[in-house]
Amino acid sequence: MRTLILSDLHLGNGGPYDIFAGAAELPALLDSLTGTPTHVVLNGDSFDFLLNDDPLAVDPKLTLEQARALVNSAQTAPSLKALGRVLAAGGRATMVVGNHDLELALPDVQAVVRSALAQPAHVASRLEFRDGTAPLQLEVGGARVLVTHGEHTDVANRIDYDSLLSSERDSRFRYPPGSVLVKSLLNPLKHQHRMRYMDLLKPDFQGAVMVALGVKPDALKVLLTSGTLTLLRRLIQNKGIAPAFAFPTDDAPAASAAESHLAQAIADVDLAADEVDALLSALDPEQLNAFESPGALGRARLKLCKAGFALYARLHRTVAGKTGTDYFALEPGKDELAESERLGKKFGPQAVVMGHTHAARWHQGNGRVFANTGTWISLLRLPSLDASDDEWGAYLAELQGNPALEPSRQKLARLEHRFTCVEVAPHATGATLRLAQWKDQGLHTLGSAELKAGS
Please write the tens of the pLDDT for every residue from 206-222: 777 778 777 777 776 65
The string of pLDDT tens digits covering residues 192-204 is 777 777 777 655 6
| Other beta carbons within 10 Å of 26 | 25
Beta strands in 269-398 (DSSP E): 351-354, 361-365, 368-372, 379-380
Report the range of poorest mean pLDDT among 57-61, 71-75, 308-312. Answer: 308-312
pLDDT at 319: 36
pLDDT for the residue 6: 98
pLDDT at 242: 46
- Residues 265-287: what's their mean pLDDT? 78
Residues 6+ apart with CB under 8 A from 37: 1, 2, 89, 90, 91, 92
Give burial (CB, 10 Å; 0-12/13-18/19+) of 369: buried
Question: Which of 355 and 289 is assigned the larger pLDDT?
Answer: 355
Nearest CA to 234 out of 249, 223, 244, 221 is that of 244
pLDDT level of residue 260 (50, 70, 90 thresholds): low
Q: Which helix (H) or strand (E) holds 415?
A: strand 415-416
Mean pLDDT over each residue of the chain, to the nearest integer: 84
Q: What pLDDT score does 231 carry? A: 64
pLDDT given for residue 272 in this prediction = 86
Q: What is the pLDDT of residue 293?
A: 64
Whether the pLDDT of residue 225 is over 50: the answer is: no
pLDDT at 317 over 60: no
Tell me the H-state helices in 149-246: 161-164, 169-172, 177-181, 187-193, 205-215, 228-237
Q: Of how many residues is the chain composed?
A: 455
Q: Assess whether pLDDT exceeds 80 at residue 184.
A: no
361 has pLDDT over 50: yes
Show the domains of the chain with their CATH numbers.
Answer: 2-172+322-377+417-452 (3.60.21.10), 177-319+381-413 (no CATH)
Angle between helices 253-268 and 294-315 (to 10 degrees): 120
Task: Find, among 34, 116, 39, the residue nearest to 78 by Cα.
Answer: 116
344 near 352, Cβ under 8 Å?
yes
* Type of residue at 360: A
Residue 221: the pLDDT is 62
Q: Note the pLDDT of residue 11.
A: 97
Exposed, middle or buried, 371 (CB in 10 Å: 0-12/13-18/19+)?
A: buried
Cα Dmax for the chain: 73
Measure the CA–CA gap between 264 and 155, rounded to whole angstroms: 14
Lowest mean pLDDT among 141-150, 187-196, 282-291: 282-291
- Which residues are registered as beta bridge partners of 370? 352, 363
Average pLDDT over residues 162-186: 85
* Whole-number Å distance between alpha carbons of 350 and 329: 23
Q: What is the pLDDT of residue 209?
A: 75
Residue 141 has pLDDT above 60, yes or no: yes
Write the CB contacts of 279 (distance below 8 Å, at least 6 apart in sequence).
213, 217, 236, 271, 297, 300, 301, 304
Element (H, E) at 453: none
Nearest CA-CA partner of 372 in 393, 394, 355: 355
pLDDT computed for residue 393 by the predictor: 84
**30 pLDDT above the threshold of 50:** yes
Q: Provide mean pLDDT across the span 55-84.
A: 95
